[in-house]
Amino acid sequence: MSSDQSGAIAGTAVPSPGLNAAAGDAAENFVQIVDIVKKFGETAAVKGVNLSVKKGELFALLGSSGCGKSTLLRMLAGLESITSGKILIDGEDLAQLPPYRRPVNMMFQSYALFPHMTVEANVAFGLKQEGVPKSELKDRVQTALDLVQMGRFAKRKPHQLSGGQQQRVALARSLVKRPKLLLLDEPMSALDKQIRQRTQIELVNILDKVGVTCMMVTHDQEEAMTMADRLAVMSEGEIVQLGTPHEVYEYPNSRFSAEFIGSTNLFDGNVVEDEPDHVFIETPDLPVRLYVSHGITGPLGMPVTISVRPERIALTRKPPEGAYNWGKGVVTNIAYMGGYSLYHVKLDAGKTVIANVTSLALTEIDPPTWGDEVYVRWSASAGVVLTS
Ligand SMILES: Nc1ncnc2c1ncn2[C@@H]1O[C@H](COP(=O)(O)OP(=O)(O)O)[C@@H](O)[C@H]1O
Ligand SMILES: [Mg+2]
């Protein structure tokens, strides 16, 4: 905002940012996505997204199929035109750069390795096109392959490699070009579930070592939670919530976000008392009020939804003593998961609550079984008030 647009701050001394501040800002806003819109005909696949990615960060776009993740990534890669808005990488407007000068590299879902070329030749391909001298090329290819622990497989062809190895070659091929921004579209989707988890950790370690800024797309919330420094939950072409995995999980800002990341129990009700340090909510689902230990802003009577994660809910056989945050019901289902069990409890008012009970906690209460009458309860810090 310039001071002539705002009488309120006219005359206020604004310290001019020193060099360090400018460098800090450049690192904070290494990738800047400003009001980006993408329309295919009349339908908008991306509807005005604003987003900054920090230097060296692994940022994930998370959302269900068709929400516009790949389209956004493809605009960053320069593979899709931008309907409106702009993208800056390290201060440079992408629109001003011809495709071959864009400091971006994309690793595709299918890896897109050339089947007739060796691993080595696949990794060297992009550098050759850039005209990198032979001596340098050899070193860089070797370094990239060693980084992904594929040095031993340099002479193999892609079909002689496992899915995980192919992915590492594709990664080496992207990294060897030393992009400022690496783009990964569903990088694990071609892998079996078993090796996926191990690969997620490996990939994070490699990206950390290289220090490259990375933006990945996934529909798998566990993958985004495991890998990303920060993530954006997307729905229908828009960002619903942005934060660290911890922030988004513990403090969802909407029903959509709460249900999309992890599973949760939602109670609808109305605010009956709102103080700075707590709020009381009346809900038809429970015989007592809901008590949440933080305030919200809004009028009394306002309809809200309270989200309580299953692992925050305790199961007891005896009625809880407190006057808040409990319900009585009957066990209708138990999913044994090994280290914990998911108890489905149908409350007297009809709502089913899911409690995640650890095996340890179960040994302490004489494990309830199907049809048993039980109580569910949780603390005032367990609930999150959602207003949308
Ligand atoms: N080239 C295209 N032409 C027309 N519609 C497209 C094109 N690419 C994507 N879309 C549409 O844009 C929306 C977002 O697609 P996409 O970005 O691929 O979603 P995601 O990667 O989140 O699954 C979808 O409705 C899809 O059908
Ligand atoms: Mg996609």
Condensed to tens digits (0 to 9), the pLDDT of residues 113-122 reads: 999 999 999 9
Q: Would you state the structure tokens that stand for residue 54, as one six-digit string?
A: 């920090």
Task: Say what the pLDDT of residue 163 is.
Answer: 85
Residue 149 CA, ligand 2 centroid: distance in Å: 28
Residue 186 CA, ligand 2 centroid: distance in Å: 7
Range with the poorest average pLDDT among 178-182, 253-257, 276-280: 276-280
Q: What is the mean pLDDT of the chain?
A: 89
Bridge-based pairing of strands 265-275 and 303-308 is antiparallel
Q: Domain map of the chain by residue range? A: 26-250, 265-386
Atom of ligand 1 nearest to the CA of 217: 21
Task: Say what the pLDDT of residue 110 is.
Answer: 67
**Residue 145: CB partners within 8 Å, gap ≥ 6?**
119, 120, 123, 151, 153, 154, 169, 172
Beta-carbon-side half-sphere exposure of residue 39 (alpha carbons within 13 Å): 6
Condensed to tens digits (0 to 9), the pLDDT of residues 192-221 reads: 888 888 889 999 999 999 999 999 999 999
Task: Say what the pLDDT of residue 195 is.
Answer: 84
Task: Give dist(CA 194, CA 333) in Å, integer.
Answer: 27
Using alpha carbons only, give the angle 136, 92, 81 rounded to the nearest 5 degrees.
100
Determine if ligand 1 sits within 6 Å of the CB of residue 383. no
Q: Would you state the structure tokens that stand for residue 281, as one six-digit string?
A: 């909510």
Task: Say what the pLDDT of residue 112 is.
Answer: 81
Residue 220 CA, ligand 2 centroid: distance in Å: 11
Condensed to tens digits (0 to 9), the pLDDT of residues 17-67 reads: 455 666 678 888 999 999 999 999 999 999 999 999 999 999 999 999 999
Rounded alpha-carbon distances, angstroms, from residue 322 to 35, 280, 353:
49, 14, 19
- Protein residue with its CA nearest to atom 2 in ligand 1: 40
Task: Give dist(CA 284, CA 378) in Å, integer.
Answer: 17
Task: Give dist(CA 375, CA 346) in Å, integer.
Answer: 10
The CATH number given to 26-250 is 3.40.50.300
95-105: average pLDDT: 85
Q: Residue 13 pLDDT more than 50?
A: no
Beta-carbon-side half-sphere exposure of residue 221 (alpha carbons within 13 Å): 15
Q: Please identify every residue whose CB atom is under 5 Å from ligand 2, which is an ion.
A: 70
Task: Give dist(CA 355, CA 170) in Å, integer.
Answer: 42
Task: Give dist(CA 226, CA 123) in Å, integer.
Answer: 28
100-115: average pLDDT: 84
Q: Would you state the structure tokens that stand for residue 61, as one six-digit string?
A: 């776009």
Condensed to tens digits (0 to 9), the pLDDT of residues 168-186 reads: 999 999 999 999 999 999 9
Question: pLDDT grade, residue 12 (50/70/90)?
Answer: very low
Residues 56, 211: contact at Cβ < 8 Å? yes
Atom of ligand 1 nearest to the CA of 67: 22
Using alpha carbons only, give the angle 318, 313, 295 rounded to the nearest 5 degrees.
115
Rounded to the nearest 10 degrees, what angle do helices 134-147 and 193-210 cross at?
130
Residues 61, 230: contact at Cβ < 8 Å? no
Task: Say what the pLDDT of residue 57 is.
Answer: 97
Residue 65 CA, ligand 2 centroid: distance in Å: 6
Determine if ligand 1 sits within 6 Å of the CB of residue 231. no
Can you count the helices (H) and strands (E) in the chain?
A: 10, 20
Q: Residue 277 pLDDT more than 70?
A: yes
- For the 265-386 domain, the top CATH level (class) is mainly beta
Q: Residue 1 pLDDT more than 60?
A: no
Question: pLDDT grade, residue 7 (50/70/90)?
Answer: very low
Question: pLDDT grade, residue 2 (50/70/90)?
Answer: very low
Torsion on CA atoms 326, 328, 332, 335, rounded to nearest 10: 30
Question: pLDDT grade, residue 14 (50/70/90)?
Answer: very low
Q: Return the percentage of the chain with pLDDT > 90, whole number.
A: 71
Condensed to tens digits (0 to 9), the pLDDT of residues 123-170 reads: 999 899 888 999 899 999 999 999 999 999 999 999 999 888 998 999
